[in-house]
């Protein structure tokens, strides 16, 4: 992909380990934002940005509502809110019903990002135990973006990427080792 304007990564059980391996490989000069939505227990959130920050030179921060989305920054969805992308490329938060038993739901962020970034969007779905993210990846394809999954064989919990593989026309299936280099190549 040439001219990637945003990468959204979704994951659930078993995805944090993948992120911790991938982050150190990322170029410090990435020009697009990376938006991370992972399922976690409400109230346990404050440590995640710090944990991720320890593995990369890129700026890592938890999303503030109405915050403009800047390139070269890793944004982490706060726990217990859905994370949406607005057409003016700012974030908004939403405390509506859980989707796929999850809040934040990966589908919500993938879908709203798809409509904003269209062909300039890449979305990556990692390890996890439910089907959240599958409909989102479908939207990404509808709007012309890139749909990526972690290789289900390499996932601690394969269900989520496997469901995506089953239902969506996936562009790339990536091993844990190849994710970092692939992201670096997106610019």
Contacts with another protein, residue ranges (CB under 8 A) = 64-66, 78, 81, 84-87, 92-97, 107-108, 111-112, 114-115, 135, 139, 142
Active site residue 154: no
Three state DSSP letters for the chain: CCCCCEEEEEECCCHHHHHHHHHHHCCCCCCCCEEEEECCCCCCCCHHHHHHHCCCCCEEEECCCCCECCCCEEEECCCCCEEEECCCCEEEEECCCCECCECCCHHHHHHHHHHHHHHHEEEEECCCCCCCCHHHHHHHHHCCCEEEEECHHHCCCCHHHHHHHHHCCCCEEECHHHHHHHHHHCC
Among residues 26 and 135, whose Cβ is nearest to another protein?
135
Active site residue 39: yes
Shortest distance in whole angstroms from residue 8 CB to another protein: 14
Among residues 7 and 63, whose Cβ is nearest to another protein?
63
Q: Among 15, 102, 127, 132, which one carries the catalytic annotation?
A: 132
Shortest distance in whole angstroms from residue 185 CB to another protein: 29
Among residues 64 and 181, whose Cβ is nearest to another protein?
64
Shortest distance in whole angstroms from residue 77 CB to another protein: 11
Active site residue 12: yes
Q: Among 39, 79, 82, 158, which one carries the catalytic annotation?
A: 39
Active site residues: 12, 39, 132
């Amino acid at each position: 992909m040439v001219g990637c304007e945003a990468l959204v990564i979704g994951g659930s059980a078993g995805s944090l380990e993948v992120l911790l391996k991938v982050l150190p490989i990322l170029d410090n000069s990435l020009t697009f934002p990376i938006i991370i939505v992972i399922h976690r227990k409400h109230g346990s959130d404050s440590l995640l940005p710090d944990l991720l920050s320890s593995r990369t030179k890129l700026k890592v921060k938890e999303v503030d509502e109405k915050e403009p989305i800047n390139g070269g920054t890793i944004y982490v969805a706060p726990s217990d809110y859905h994370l949406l992308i607005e057409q003016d490329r700012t974030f908004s938060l939403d405390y509506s019903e859980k989707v796929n038993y999850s809040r934040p739901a990966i589908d919500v962020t993938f879908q709203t990002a798809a409509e904003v970034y269209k062909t300039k969007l890449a979305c990556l779905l990692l390890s996890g135990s439910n089907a959240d993210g599958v409909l989102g990846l479908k939207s990404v394809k509808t709007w012309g973006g890139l749909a990526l999954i972690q290789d289900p064989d390499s996932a601690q919990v394969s269900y989520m990427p496997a469901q995506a593989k089953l239902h969506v026309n996936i562009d790339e299936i990536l091993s844990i080792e190849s994710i970092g280099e692939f992201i670096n190549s997106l610019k």
